[in-house]
Amino acid sequence: MKVYIATLPNGFFGSTGQSWKSLNVNKIAGLLEYNTEIITINDLKNIELNESDTVVYTSSDEENIRLYMRDIMYFINQKCRILPNYNMLLGHENKGFQELLRKELGFGNLKGNYFFDIDDSILPTPKVLKTVSGAGSSGVFLVKNKKDMKDIKDNHFDVSKKRRLIKLQRRIKLKRNEFYFYKYRHKGFNRFVEQEFIPNLKNDFKILVFGNRFYTLKRSIRKNDFRASGSGLFEYVTAPEEVLNFAKSIFSKLDNPYASLDIAQSANGCHLIEFQGTNFGPLALLKSSTRKVFLDNNWIEEKNDQDLEENFAYAINMFLGNSSSIHSEG
């Protein structure tokens, strides 16, 4: 088996939380327990890949790069293993796909719905509505009543004055059944996710998982707000064991070496708010003094070396080693 680390054409490999900082791929390659070669994403179009090979890559918060990666990796995924897996790439900056995946795999413990027509919103109020992309608390709205829904519709599902004028003209010229379809086409669409509102939350937890290592960032909710994401009110503490066990159960279903999980804890248990499997911020790893490791069916606490590249290599080595064992046993 050979491992290829595929950077962007300029050598950039993201997941540092800052768009101007790249992971040290030479260091990661040196720590991997496999024959490893560093290439660019464009090189993949000209390399003969074997089924036993693995391509390690990253996504981007820049939309055009991310969509290009989706196109390229769709075909690479049919030739060999890719890390992150293709589901994690589709879910990056796409809360809609995340919602579909959580339903497909049956995890999260949070009611939700994905739609492009606001009239297809089905959850009762209060609820949370989110645009499919957006970092931190941007594009996240608490909907308490019909007025809040109308505000969302007016601000995010409206059409231009020019389009409204054209619709009036089409109403006169088109047959009734033709205008019915035309009117729907230009009704005003936007991709949104809705989730049930969890009341009385004071904080949530961002859990970074690298293999069997778990790093916690506790995020408090600002006064007169409902969102912990983007609050800047951070504590680097050990998450409750209930949260760690929940994170471990989610992670086991993602089939990925590493992940970022946003988890809330309420009287009804734990709830997965969002997740990422690529290009996520590493603050919890870089700032926490300790980490929790699940070993021999127990949680143990270790000192955190705060080494991002070492953790990526550790997680990839563990994932590939476990996958090889499972394959050989099968």
Q: How far apart are CA 322 and CA 54, in angstroms?
A: 14
Q: How far apart are CA 164 and CA 151, in angstroms?
A: 19
Mean pLDDT of the residues in the chain: 93
Average pLDDT (106-114) is 96
What is each CA distance from 294 to 33, 89, 213, in whole angstroms?
22, 26, 7
Q: How far apart are CA 51 and CA 70, in angstroms?
A: 19
Extents of the domains making up the chain:
2-85, 95-108+199-329, 111-197
**What is the DSSP-derived secondary structure letter of residue 222?**
P
pLDDT tens-digit readout, 263-300: 999 999 999 999 999 999 999 999 999 999 999 999 99
Q: What pLDDT is stored for residue 297 in this prediction?
A: 95
Given a contact cutoff of 8 angstroms between Cβ atoms, the answer to whether 292 and 248 are in contact is no
Count of other CB atoms within 10 angstroms of residue 313: 23
Q: What pLDDT is stored for residue 231 in this prediction?
A: 55
CA contacts within 13 A on the Cβ side of 244 = 20
Average pLDDT (235-262) is 97
pLDDT tens-digit readout, 195-235: 999 998 999 999 999 999 999 999 998 777 776 666 577 99
Say whether pTM exceeds 0.85: yes
The architecture in CATH of the region 95-108+199-329 reads 2-Layer Sandwich (3.30)
Supply the DSSP string of 148-163, one letter for each residue. Answer: HHHHHHHHHS---HHH
Enumerate residues 6+ apart whose C-beta is below 8 A from 97. Answer: 87, 90, 91, 132
In the chain, count H helices and then E strands.
10, 15
Q: Nearest to residue 244, comparing CAs of 216, 222, 269?
A: 216
